[in-house]
Amino acid sequence: MTGTKKCSACKEEKLVDSFYKNKAMKDGFNNQCKKCNKKYTSTKASLAGKKKYRDKNKEELSIKAKILRSSEEYKIYNSVRQAKRRADKFKATPSWANLFFIEEAYRLSKLRTNLFGFEWHVDHIVPLKGKNVCGLHVEYNLQVIPKQENLVKSNKFEDKEQYVSDYSWD
């Protein structure tokens, strides 16, 4: 990237490569150069601010620490959190979805990974964001399949007739 910018701390004109990227800023870069930013984050004021944050958010940080203690539980927690985030992004999780059963699908994938020695994924039968169809992030739309099978499938939905016949109301 070419161009220059003036550091708000040292007041020097520097190449934009000397600044961290920051999408929130108008020009896309922090106001302080990398050198000044590193200097600031190691100062007493910065450390005092971090301590104040820890004191203010002690309970929340304690909960996160408990989750992190059990790395196996954290992996499951993180998988569920990421999947829920993706689903929320597409507004695909209805209020009536049973989050317990959704979480169980992720636990099952982890269990199968440990038992069989190769990775298993939780797959949406009808993709959340497909070319012709969009599904919901609900327990009825989930299946636990081997990673390779899921990667080949991607977000395609080709078995429409089978799915419709399985769930028709005739």
Three-state DSSP string of 45-113: HHHHHHHHHHHHCHHHHHHHHHHHHCHHHHHHHHHHHHHHHHHHHCCCCCCCCCHHHHHHHHHHHHHHH
Question: What per-residue confidence (pLDDT) applies to 120?
Answer: 94
Domain end: 29, 56, 83, which one? 56
Q: Is 51 part of a structural domain of the chain?
A: yes
Q: 35 with 81, same domain?
A: no
**Are 50 and 83 within one domain?**
no
117 and 143, same domain (yes or no): yes
pLDDT higher than threshold 90 for residue 129: no
148 and 82 fall within a common domain: yes
Number of domains in the chain: 2
Last residue of a domain, one of 56, 84, 106: 56
Position 65 pLDDT exceeds 80: no
Position 64 in a domain: no
pLDDT class of 6 with cuts at 50, 70, 90: very high
Clarify whether residues 154 and 80 are in a common domain: yes
Cα atoms found within 13 Å of the Cα of residue 33, Cβ hemisphere only: 16
On whether both 49 and 98 belong to a single domain, the answer is no
**79 and 137 in a common domain:** yes
Q: Are residues 76 and 157 in the same domain?
A: yes
Mean pLDDT value across residues 84-91:
69
Say which residue, 130 or 18, is predicted with more confidence.
18
Can you tell me whether residue 145 is helix, strand or coil?
A: strand
**Do the domain assignments include residue 100?**
yes
pLDDT grade, residue 116 (50/70/90)? very high
pLDDT score, position 69: 65
Residue 41 lies in a domain: yes
Is the domain of 36 the same as that of 116? no
Q: What is the pTM of this model?
A: 0.45
- Choice among 1-10, 59-68, 116-125, 153-162 with the minimum mean pLDDT: 153-162
Question: Does the residue 12 lie in any domain?
Answer: no
5: in domain: no
User: How much is the pLDDT for 159?
Assistant: 58
> Looking at the predicted structure, is the pLDDT value of residue 3 above 60?
yes
Asked if residue 122 is part of any domain, the answer here is yes
Could you tell me if 92 and 156 lie in one domain?
yes
Q: Are residues 27 and 83 in the same domain?
A: no
Residue 117 inside a domain? The answer is yes
Q: What residues make up the domain containing 27?
A: 20-56
The pLDDT value given to residue 59 = 79
If you average pLDDT over residues 102-131, what whole number do you get?
90
